[in-house]
Structures are given as C-alpha cells and as structure tokens.
Structure 1
Amino acid sequence: MMRDEIYDRQTELRMRMTELGRIKKRYEAKEAERQEAKRERDRLQARLTKEQQDVLRLGQFSFANKFRQLTGKMDEIMEKELNEAAEAELKFNEAEKVLLDLEEETAALKTELDRPEYEFLDDDWDAFLQEKEIWMRNNDTGAITKLQQVADERATLQSMRREIEEAIHAGREAQRVLDSAVDQLGNAEGMSMWDTFLGGGMVVTAMKYSSINSSDDKIHRAQRALRRFQSELADVENFDTARLTVNKRDFLNFSDFFFDNMFTDWMVHSRITDAKSQLDGVLADVERILRELADRLKRTDAEIARLAEREKEIILS
C-alpha cells in the first residue's frame, strides 16, 4: 500500500463513516417523531369517535332529547356538538397527514441505512487499520502522519460542507413554501375581513372557506418543509436549532391553534390574522438562518482551501 493510497483510502472511509453516523442519528430522531405522531393521531381519533357518538345520540329519541326540544335548547346543543365534531375531524385529518409524512421520511432513512456500501463498513475500517500499521512499520512515518492529519481534517470539513449545503437546500424550499402559505393566508384574511365586517354574503363566505382550505393545505406543506429543514440543521455541527421558531411545538402543532373554536366569523378572522403573523415570524427566522448558513459555507470553503495548501507544503518539504 503506497502513501497516496493510504491517504485516499483513509479519507474515503472516514467520510463514509461520518455519513453513516449522520443517517443513523437522523433515523433515530425521525422514528421518535413518528411514534409521537402516531400517539397523537390515535388520541385525536378517539376524540373524533367520541364527538361523532355525541352527535348521533342527540339524533336518537330519548326523553332527555324530547325535553330539550320542548325547552328550545335542542338546536343550541346540536350546534355545539356539531362544531366540536367538525373541529375534532379537522384536527384528526391534519394529524393523519403528519403521520403519513413521517412514515415516508422514516422509511426513506431506513432505506439509506440499508445501502450495501454501509453493510461491511466497520470490517473495511478494521482491515484498513491493519494494512496501514504494516506499511508504517516499514516506511518513514513523518510525512505520512502529517498528511493523514490533514486528511482527517479535510474529511471532517467536506462532510460538514455537504451538511451545510443540504441545510441550505432544505431552507430555500421551506422559504418558498412559506412564501406561498403567507400569500394564501393574506387572501383568506382579505376575504374574512370583508365577510366579518362588511357583510360579504354567501358568495364571499364560500370564497373565504375555500381560501381557508387552501391555506390549511399550504400550512401543512410548510410544516413538512420546516421539519425537514430542522432535521438538516441538526446535522450541522454546533448549530443551535432552538433559535428556529419551527422548533416550538406551537407551530409544529399549528392545527391545534388554527382549528380551535373556529366556527364563528370573528374567531375565523382572528385566527387567520394571528396565523399570518406567526408565519411571517417563521419566514423571517428561515431567511436569517439561511444567511448564517451561507456565511458558514464560505468560511468552510476557505478552511478547505487552506488545508489543500498545507498538503502541498508537506509534499514539497
């Protein structure tokens, strides 16, 4: 085994080991998210079933229901139960979509872990160390030791660079989806203002709820994109993901906030306005972090270039 072969082989193996460790860490975190999402989906499913049963019971004959009809309270109670059932259904549907997303993401990471190049990686590393030891016992170790130190540093930086680039890509996608969600909520806010304060009529009301449904879909996409961005940021060394608003449960469980008691015109308008303000804040966070990542990428490239110069100096000395 020649010196250049040792250098190249060690760099290649270290990068593969770093990548495998990164995928394992991400898989474990995503699996924990999936299990939590499944528990939440099951909880909301049980609640939905209960609310549906409450509505059905009100529709059946009973002396209690007859009394409510006679006292004029039946319509009020039925409206309340229907609102609660509709709210429970909206939350369950969102939880089901989140769980499906996480199941897809977990399965994709498991597929990465099972790639053939990782199957015997530990054995490959052990075999390399044995070959390297034999070579070093029979050759001058001064230059090779220095080059291997540079190789290790460069392998670490190259892995870091790839993680930063992946985070930037995920952040730009999150930025794009958030922009779309903010625009859609702006449309819904305008419709809601007209309907709530200016008496927009049936057509405007229908347009408002159509806009809300579109907003819900885009917010779900934003949540998915932000979860991916957060996962990518967790791979970037020494990056504090807590500074990203998406890390807070109030946004990742956005549907709990958005759909609670949403069945009056005033509450609809208030929730849309608050939701748009919250999304604006998250978008500002994403844009700020993208600037920080771009700066870190620039500094990492400069350090990789410095190591390349150091390598030349060792070879020429």
Structure 2
Amino acid sequence: MRQDIYERQMELTTKRSERDRIKRRLDGAEKRLHEAMELRDRLYRQLTKEQQDIAKLGRFSFINKIKTWTGKWDEEMEKEMAEAAEAELKYNEAEKTVTDLKEETEEFQKEMRNPDFTYIDEDWADFLKEKETWIRQNDSIASGTLQKIADERVMLRSMLREIGEAQGAGQKANNLLNAAIDKLGSAEGTSLWDTFLGGGIIVSAIKYSQINSSEDLIHLAQRALRHFETELMDVQNIATESLTINKKDFYNFTDLFFDNIFSDWMVHSRITDSKGKLKQVLIDVRRIQEGLARKHDEIIHELKRLDNQEQDIIIS
C-alpha cells in the first residue's frame, strides 16, 4: 500500500508540475505577444509617417521646385528615404516577432488542453485525503523519511528535465548567434572594401545582400533567445547572480543593427558595433550554459544520494 501511495503521488505531482510549467509559459507568451503587438503598431505608424513624408516631397509644389533648383530636394529625399528604409526594417522585424509569438501562444494553449490536466486538481485533492488517512493509520519514522525522499526525488527529476530543455534551447541560441556573427563578419569585410577602398556598385550590392541575410539570422537568433529565456524561467533554484540574463542585451541588440544601417557613412561602424554586441550576448549565453551544466551534475549527484538513502532504509 505504501509503495502505491508513493507512485500515485509521483504521478500526480509530475502532472501538476507539467501543467503549472505550461501555464507559466502561456502567461509569459501572452504578455510578450501583447507587448510585441503594441510595438508593431507603433512602428507601423512611424513607417506610415515616413512614407507620407516621401510622398509630400514627391508631389509638385513651388517649394519643392525651388528645393530642386538649390539642390536641397535631393538631400531631403535621400534623408527621408533612409529614414523610411530604417522604419520598414524595424517594422518587418516586429511583424515577424508577432507571428512567432502567436504561434508560440497557440502551441501553449494546445498543450493546456491536454486531457491529463482536466481534473488534475480534483484528483490531487482526493489523493491528499487518502494519504492523510493512510498516514494516521501507518505512522512511522521510516515511512515519513521514505515519503520525504520520494518528494525530493520528484522535484529533482523535474528540475533535471527543465535544465535539459534549457540547455537545448541555449545550444540553439548559441548556434544561431554564431551564424549571425559570421554573416556580419562577411558584411563587415565587404563594407570595409566599399567604404575605404572604393568598391563600387557591385560591392555595394553584395554588402547590402549580406546585410539582408544578417537581418534574417538576427531575427532567428532573437527568437531563439526568447525561447532560451522561457526555458530558464522554468529552472527552479538556479536564479543566482551568475545565471542572471541581461534582458536589455537579449532584446535590444537588434536596435543597434537596425538604426541608421542605410546611412552610407555609418554602415561600416554600425556593422562592427552590431557584431560586437552579438559577441557579448554569445558570451552571456555560454556563461549561463556552463552554470546549467554544473547544476545538472549537482542534481545527478543528489539523486544518487537519495537512492542510496532509500535502499539503506528498505534493507535495514
């Protein structure tokens, strides 16, 4: 009977832990989606404004005609086109993020509809009543110790699973950050040639092609970092200072890349700064991964200790 109780508690505790974990993820995804939609709408309004500014310059007027004669029109149009291009780039990234978060939210909602979760709270309440009755009838020091071991084992195994998921997400983020850094490195070399060695039209075209490829990789890396942070939130008792994530670095490094990327005289330095920012984030990811690996080893060691303690009680 005692073993049946241990097994039943482990089963219910595991299900409740999984349900709560998914619920936390769903709540976080819904919050991030709301924030991302607000940002997207704000950027859309900015993009619309920039497009309207270009349209105004394009319409015939005596003022525009005078600007054309004085050379001011070309300068203003170049400035407005650059601002519109930057606004479009930021809006496109925000739109991709909203799409990602919608998919993520829908997936968590689907997981929450798991039939195992439908009556889990009622089943847990019934179990606790049964367990209380059994304990009153079979109270002993050994029984209490075994129950404590069983409870700790469930918690540690849950932590071990969550650490494994976090490590997998971290490795994906690591790989994508490396790919983005490599692509920016190629763009940096081309930009150096174009900016300081007179590369010409073809080199400029190659440079912006590499920048566009970098944009896609940066978006994928950003998505992977959001997933990594979500996984880390599930890792209990690991929120030490050594594992703290700088969310500003994780979420805003794209701003450095997207700002003024179409202003020719700033392209090279902007690419270099962006690559350096990505490298700092990569260092942070690797540092967190090392902390997760240490915690994983500690839990394995503790599980072995609990197994030995349980065997000593049963055999004695």
TM-score where L is the length of structure 2: 0.94
Q: CA deviation at 1:121?
A: 0.6
Matches within 5 A, 1:3-42: 3-42=2-41
Greater Cα offset, 285-294 or 165-174: 285-294
Cα pair 2:173 2:225 within 8 Å, conserved:
yes
Structure 2 equivalent of residue 173 of structure 1: 172
Cα pair 1:250 1:257 within 8 Å, conserved:
no
Distance 2:239 2:149 in 1: 28
Cα pair 1:174 1:229 within 8 Å, conserved:
yes
Distance 1:227 1:53 in 2: 34
Cα pair 1:241 1:247 within 8 Å, conserved:
no
Distance 2:238 2:104 in 1: 22
1:122 is aligned to 2:121: yes
Structure 1 equivalent of residue 182 of structure 2: 183
Give per-residue Cα distances to partners, 1:250-289, cap 9 Å, x unaligned: 5413332212222233311011101111111111221222
Distance 1:161 1:152 in 2: 14
Distance 1:243 1:87 in 2: 36
Structure 2 equivalent of residue 290 of structure 1: 289
Distance 1:206 1:249 in 2: 32
Structure 2 equivalent of residue 109 of structure 1: 108
Distance 1:221 1:242 in 2: 27
Cα pair 1:68 1:74 within 8 Å, conserved:
yes
Q: CA deviation at 1:144?
A: 2.5
Distance 1:14 1:125 in 2: 8
Q: CA deviation at 1:240?
A: 3.4
Amino acid at match of 1:261: N
Q: CA deviation at 1:136?
A: 2.9
Structure 1 equivalent of residue 143 of structure 2: 144
Cα pair 1:234 1:241 within 8 Å, conserved:
no
Q: CA deviation at 1:209?
A: 0.7
Q: Unaligned regions of 5+ residues in structure 2, if any? A: none
Matches within 5 A, 1:38-77: 38-77=37-76
User: Aligned pair in 2 of structure 1 residues 127, 245: CA closer, same or farther (>3 Å)?
Assistant: closer
Q: CA deviation at 1:246?
A: 6.0
Q: Unaligned regions of 5+ residues in structure 1, if any? A: none
Cα pair 1:184 1:211 within 8 Å, conserved:
yes
Give per-residue Cα distances to partners, 1:54-95, cap 9 Å, x unaligned: 111111122322332233311111111111111111110011
Distance 2:88 2:62 in 1: 29
Q: CA deviation at 1:236?
A: 1.3
Q: CA deviation at 1:140?
A: 4.4
1:204 is aligned to 2:176: no
| Identity %, equivalent residues | 56
User: Aligned pair in 2 of structure 1 residues 241, 106: CA closer, same or farther (>3 Å)?
Assistant: farther
Cα pair 2:184 2:214 within 8 Å, conserved:
yes
User: Aligned pair in 2 of structure 1 residues 204, 72: CA closer, same or farther (>3 Å)?
Assistant: closer
Distance 1:58 1:246 in 2: 45
Q: CA deviation at 1:244?
A: 6.6
Amino acid at match of 1:28: D
Structure 2 equivalent of residue 236 of structure 1: 235
Distance 1:241 1:78 in 2: 52
Distance 2:142 2:244 in 1: 48
Cα pair 2:173 2:221 within 8 Å, conserved:
yes
Distance 2:210 2:55 in 1: 30
Aligned Cα root-mean-square deviation (Å): 1.8
Amino acid at match of 2:9: Q
Structure 2 equivalent of residue 313 of structure 1: 312
Structure 1 equivalent of residue 162 of structure 2: 163
Matches within 5 A, 1:73-84: 73-84=72-83
Cα pair 1:44 1:88 within 8 Å, conserved:
yes
Distance 2:194 2:137 in 1: 85
